[in-house]
Amino acid sequence: MDVNKEFFSNITSRERAIFEGAISMGALFHQFVGTPVNNQTKKSLEDAMRNSLNLQPAIEDVEVNIDFTRLEDAMSEFDYTSLTGDMLDVKIHTKVDDVKAVIRIKFIEELNYPLMYVEDIKD
Amino acid sequence: MDVNKEFFSNITSRERAIFEGAISMGALFHQFVGTPVNNQTKKSLEDAMRNSLNLQPAIEDVEVNIDFTRLEDAMSEFDYTSLTGDMLDVKIHTKVDDVKAVIRIKFIEELNYPLMYVEDIKD
Amino acid sequence: MDVNKEFFSNITSRERAIFEGAISMGALFHQFVGTPVNNQTKKSLEDAMRNSLNLQPAIEDVEVNIDFTRLEDAMSEFDYTSLTGDMLDVKIHTKVDDVKAVIRIKFIEELNYPLMYVEDIKD
Amino acid sequence: MDVNKEFFSNITSRERAIFEGAISMGALFHQFVGTPVNNQTKKSLEDAMRNSLNLQPAIEDVEVNIDFTRLEDAMSEFDYTSLTGDMLDVKIHTKVDDVKAVIRIKFIEELNYPLMYVEDIKD
């Protein structure tokens, strides 16, 4: 079965680059939010997030940064916290044919919300 | 802050309809996979999945069906199973300006994989 | 196979009541934290949480309350938020032989932490 | 606030060792099931699971093994799969005062179910 021909011939390469990056961003957020984390384990969690999302279709690279400042504000009596979307600063790079896109999540103060958007797209 | 102007002026309405639906599909899969479920609780879980995803930007409707057949195959000694992606048949309807899109997840036998794709898009 | 004889003869009924309730409480937290929710969908999410956890071994009843006050504080520009552990007030009732236990999660201000503990146990 | 006195004086050290291990096992399962994984990323995911669960109260050590055999059976056309409970072989070691417990999850063929149980407890 030719997956691309069968299921993706109705959208452009540009649209596919956006589609695959957006799926992976939604996946990353809802898979990992809630995970116990602190300064000592931040790197290990960032690695697992990057490596697991890298497996998905069209993903070229994933840059994950769990934001230190907010992490410390949220720290409990027990010296760790649960990962929230507000702590995430992530760029997912996708490539479909000649199109390259960067999907971003970043906490936007004015919105009180970790916004997902297309930061860059080139074709 | 005008979110659309600030963050989404670099993509078309059609691309935005795909983007928002794809995020919500990735979210749905990775939020709910693993949930204990059986025939008695299927309806309640489908409702919660639909209602929670409906809250996200640009989502018009969410149709969730947890597939009975696979559910019974997977049933354990304890009369329930954990929700897997293979059981999901979901359509997420998005609307951005005049564009309407349907993002779908469905298990494809030939791929041994629950595929996410753009089932329909109209502008 | 006699599961109880094979795997649980090394602990008392009281210990088993605590064990099964604790598993389900850890499960509930990490399954549902991150789910989009607001006042309109709160009831539906509470129902799905109760129904799905009720399926697990030794669970007699699950009382779920997503705390309104904190929910409104956390509300974003888009009129919904992501479920966090701080919003959870949950009692899981277990029964093993003649022992009944109540496992609780509740946000404790002094700890800045949603604490899980054995609220009540009777044998 | 003395958390132990305030919230845990109604259970024994042995019961607390079981309680904390069971919470962390429920947490581990429901946090990470659904994560994309293959042979290349297995180690990174195991590390993140171990490190994040190690942060929780009373946890001494966490041994995580994602079972290779089942992983390969489940591999999709796209050379990765979603983590399921059936692939998990995990031991969580807890210590409360002089009590040491090992909580285990392992797939049991006869039950068609990844069973959680107290593998060992010493006081």
Of C35, C47, C52, the CB nearest to B36: C52
Interface confidence, given as ipTM, is: 0.94
pLDDT tens column, A100-119: 999 999 999 888 889 999 99
**Minimum mean pLDDT among B73-82, C56-65, C75-84: which range?**
B73-82
Chains that touch D (3 or more CB pairs under 8 A): A, B, C
pLDDT surpassing 70 at residue C64: yes
Residue whose structure tokens are 């497996």: A55
pLDDT over threshold 80, residue D77:
no
Q: What is the pLDDT of residue B69?
A: 81
pLDDT tops 90 at residue B112: no
- The pLDDT tens digits for D38-69 are 999 999 999 999 999 999 999 999 999 999 78
Q: What superfamily would CATH give domain A3-122?
A: 7,8-dihydroneopterin aldolase (MptD) (3.30.1300.20)
Does D18 sit within 8 Å of C11, measured CB to CB? Answer: yes
A 10 A CB-CB count for B98 gives: 10
Give me the percent of chain C exceeding a pLDDT of 90. Answer: 81
A116 labeled binding residue: yes
Q: How confident is the model at residue D70 (pLDDT cuts 50, 70, 90)?
A: low
Residue C77 confidence (pLDDT) above 90:
no
Higher pLDDT, C73 or D1: D1
The distance of D38 to chain B (nearest Cα, Å) reads 14
Beta bridge partners of A95: A100
Pairing of strands A81-82, A88-96: unpaired
Residue B68 exposed, middle or buried by CB count within 10 Å (0-12, 13-18, 19+): exposed
pLDDT of residue D111: 86
Kindly list the residues of chain A whose beta carbon comes within 8 Å of any beta carbon in chain D.
3, 27, 31-32, 34-38, 40-41, 44-45, 47-49, 51-57, 77-80
- Average pLDDT value over all residues in chain B: 93
Q: What average pLDDT does range A88-101 have in this prediction?
A: 98
**Read out DSSP for A31-66?**
HHTT-EE-TTTHHHHHHHHHHHHHTSTTEEEEEEEE
Q: Is pLDDT above 70 for D110? A: yes
CA distance B37 to chain C (A): 6
Q: Which of A41, A44, A55 sits opposite D80 (nearest CB)?
A: A55
**Closest approach of D116 to chain B, Cα-based (Å):** 13
- The pLDDT of residue B73: 63
pLDDT of residue A76: 65
CB contact under 8 A, D115 and C20: no
- Residue of C25, C35, C42 to mutate when probing chain B, most B C-beta within 10 A: C35
Does D123 have pLDDT greater than 80? yes
Q: Is the pLDDT of residue D113 over 90?
A: no
Quote the pLDDT of residue D76. Answer: 65
Is A90 or D76 the better-scoring residue by pLDDT? A90
Residue type, D64: V
Cβ-Cβ contacts under 8 Å between A and C: the total is: 39
Structure confidence by residue, pLDDT tens digits, B24-34: 999 999 999 99
* pLDDT of res. C32: 98
| pLDDT band, very low/low/confident/very high, at B123 (cuts 50, 70, 90) | confident
Higher-pLDDT residue of B73 and A30 is: A30
Q: Name the strands in the sheet holding C99-108, side by side, starting at the edge strand that comes first in the sequence.
A: C59-66, C88-96, C99-108, C113-122
What is the rounded CA–CA span in Å between residue B105 and residue B87? 10
